[in-house]
Amino acid sequence: MKCISTVSYAVNINGNRGRVFQPTRGLRQGDPLSPYLFLICSEGLSSLIRLAIREGVLKGLKASRRGPLISNLLFADDCILFGEATKERATFLKDILKEYEQCSGQCVNFSKSTIFFSSNTSEGVKEEISDVLGVRCSTNMEKFLGLPNVVGKRKKESFQNLKDENWTMEHKAFLTRGKEVFIKLVLQAIPTYTITCFLLPKSLCGELENIFAKFWWQHGKKKKGIHWCQWKFMCRSKEEGRMGFRNMSHFYISLLAKQGWRIINNQNSFVTHKAKYFPNDQILNSRLGNSSSYT
C-alpha cells in the first residue's frame, strides 16, 4: 500500500514545475497507477467467484454447449455477472459482493445496477431474486458504452440514434469548404465507434448517406438544393475530380475486417466464439447458424 499512501504530485504551470505536495486521498483519477490498482482489486473479485464455482456454490453461463464457462466480465469499473436464476445462488452472490466490499472498500451501486433474466424465468422467481439482491429487473438489455447489448429483429431501430445525431448536426449553416470538413470529420465520424462492432443494415447506411448529400447540396438551414451528382460519385477520390467522401458501406466492411483479424490472431479471446461458430475450422469457412450473435 506504500505506492498509494506515499504518492506525491507536482503541477506544471505555464511550463514551470510547481512544488511537490502529497494528496490526502491517495491516487487521483487519471493517475498512471489507477488502472493497476483496479486490476488488483478486480482480480480479488474474480478469484472469489472462481472459488465459488469450483465449490459448486455458483454456476456460470456458456455461450454454446462446447464453449467455456463465463462467470463475470470486467471493463473499467463496470462488471457483468452471470449465474443461475435461483434464490440460493443469488444469496451466495450477494455474500461474495459483501465480502469484496469489506476487503477492497469498493461498494456496488445497486441503484445503477440491473438484472436481465431469460425468457424462461417465471415472474415469481424474478421478483424473489430482485428482492434478495436489491436490484431492479430490466425488461430489455440497456446500452453499454453507448452500444446496444442485444440487437433484436428490428435491427434498424437499435441504431436509430446514429441517424438522429446526424439529423441534428445536419441543421447547421456552413460555407462549401466548411461543409466538406464537417461531413468528413463530424457526420461521417459519428457512426465509427458503433460500426467497429456491428454491421449496420444497408437501408440505414443509405439513409445516413442521404443526410450527408442533403447537407452538402442545401443552401442555408432551410433551403433545399438540387443534387447535381449522385452521392456514390462524390465518394470518389479528388484525383478523379470528386470530393473523396467515404463510401460508408465499404468503410463499415473495412472496420469489421479489423475485428476478423483480431479473431484470427487471438483465438483464446471470448470475442472469438470459436467453440460456437467454427470449432473444427477457420473463421473464413464458418457459418452463422440459427442463434448467431449480431456482433
Which pLDDT does position 81 carry in this prediction? Answer: 84
Note whether 135 and 167 are same-domain residues: no
Total count of domains within the chain: 2
Q: Which domain holds residue 225?
A: 154-252
pLDDT at 13 over 70: yes
Same structural domain for residues 130 and 230? no
221 pLDDT tier (thresholds 50, 70, 90): low
* pLDDT value for 275: 63
Last residue of a domain, one of 93, 113, 144: 144
* Per-residue model confidence (pLDDT) at position 295: 60
CB 5 within 8 A of CB 26: yes
Q: Are residues 216 and 169 in the same domain?
A: yes
- Report yes or no on 57 lying in a domain: yes
118-124: average pLDDT: 83
User: pTM for the full model?
Assistant: 0.59
39 inside domain:
yes
In angstroms, the CA 119 to CA 139 distance is 10
Asked whether residue 264 is assigned to any structural domain, the reply reads no
Note whether residue 118 is domain-resident.
yes
Question: pLDDT value at position 74?
Answer: 78
In the predicted structure, residue 169 carries a pLDDT above the cut 80: no
Averaged pLDDT for residues 143-167: 66
CB atoms within 10 A of CB 177: 8
pLDDT-based confidence at residue 5 (cuts at 50, 70, 90)? low
- Mean pLDDT value across the chain: 76
* Domain end call among 125, 144, 163: 144
Q: Give the pLDDT of residue 132.
A: 86
Q: Is residue 189 part of a domain?
A: yes
Are 187 and 137 within one domain?
A: no
What per-residue confidence (pLDDT) applies to 239?
80
End of a domain among 113, 144, 175? Answer: 144
Residues 165, 132 share a domain: no
**Whether 164 and 123 share a structural domain:** no
Percentage with pLDDT > 90 across the chain: 0
Same domain flag for 136 and 172: no
pLDDT at 23 over 80: no
Please tell me which residue, 284 or 43, carries the higher pLDDT value.
Answer: 43
Examine the domain organization and report whether 40 and 130 are in the same domain.
yes
Domain assignment of residue 68, yes or no:
yes
Average of per-residue pLDDT across 278-290:
66
Do both 139 and 223 map to the same domain?
Answer: no
Q: What digits encode the pLDDT tens for the residues 41-73?
A: 778 888 888 888 888 888 887 777 777 777 887
**pLDDT exceeding 70 applies to what percent of the chain?**
69
The answer on 163 and 217 residing in a single domain is: yes
The answer to which of 20-29, 47-56, 203-212, 246-255 has the lowest mean pLDDT is: 20-29
8 Å CB contact between 277 and 288: yes
Residue 175 has which C-alpha cell? 460555407
User: Does the residue 2 lie in any domain?
Assistant: no
Residues 131 and 76 grouped into a single domain: yes
**Residue 113 and residue 161 in one domain:** no
Residue 9 lies in a domain: no
